[in-house]
Structure 1
């Protein structure tokens, strides 16, 4: 890993923090641009650096830097209703990047993004369901279902942006 890699990982951690603040409150889990930046980090930086960028983002939030949605930080956020989604971000970035690295095509990038979103949903739904007294049906209707259309749109846009960035050789 060189200084360029570290800089880009830091840049995507910062972009995720900015994306968290672009938020529409729709219940205990807000609609943000975090998923978009998580996908971009994996698709553009690759599995290893995408994972690192999101691990840095998560670490910043856990130690109290207010990088999470609604300008929040601290370990309490991880134990709250959005904690499962946040913890999934490094793995999601890794998976999006891993799939995209195997085949450099728009279809592979979309597929990697959809897999990454599924992981975010799975861990987020699990945490939210546990917080709701094991009411996983309610957690699905509050923490997964409303986000599917927007997140699929984010997956398509992230794949298109990543493909363009790679084509131009910007990163």
Structure 2
């Protein structure tokens, strides 16, 4: 495969996962300040399937689409005001989450147990970014920020980390077999 074909495949993979993230963002359970949505499941899938660089690039694409006003964020919202608002830290954190999750897998093994470990670490990265911005934007104390920005998401976060790991590794293996993505990191 030539370099141009490889670049096109990377762009297509990133666009597909940015779109998947936008779609899963609309699956939500409303909470008072920050809804529980399918976005973090999509972030975990992107990182588990694509790896660190492409997973992070897909999240950059997702964030930029939303920043320019495309309604890809939870509740069909979009615009820069979402990124600088109370929930924006989670969206910014998706980039770091995808990179670190994919990086852990590339440096270890693309297996369900390692993916679960990497996705749980990623969950806490997203929660860290989100809670810090929630605290700053809403001028909350740490206790209130943790109560609104972390605790409600833990149980569902572990479930999404498991789903991203199991589905992600299964899909990744099939995409490699179909020669639609390149295997990076250690063999599964």
TM bucket (normalised to shorter chain) is: over 0.9
The 2-side partners of 1:70 and 1:12 are apart by: 18
Say how many residue pairs are matched.
Answer: 171
Aligned residue number for residue 148 of structure 1:
154
In the TM superposition, what whole-angstrom CA distance separates every residue of 1:80-117 from its partner, at most 9, and x where no partner exists?
11010011111111111111112222221111101111
Residue pair 1:130, 1:136 contacting (<8 A) in 2 also: no
Aligned residue number for residue 49 of structure 2:
44
In structure 1, runs of 5+ residues without a counterpart are none
* TM-score (structure 1 length as normaliser): 0.95
Runs of 4+ in 1 over 6 A off after TM superposition: none
RMSD of the TM alignment (CA)? 1.2
Q: By how many angstroms is 1:59 displaced?
A: 0.4
The one of 84, 109, 112 aligned to 1:79: 84
In structure 2, runs of 5+ residues without a counterpart are 1-5, 182-188
Aligned residue number for residue 22 of structure 1:
27
Mapping of 1:56-67 within 5 angstroms?
56-67=61-72
1:13 aligns with 2:18: yes
* TM-score (structure 2 length as normaliser): 0.87
Of stretches 78-87 and 49-58 in structure 1, the one that deviates more from structure 2 is 78-87
Compare CA radii of gyration and give the structure with the larger one.
2
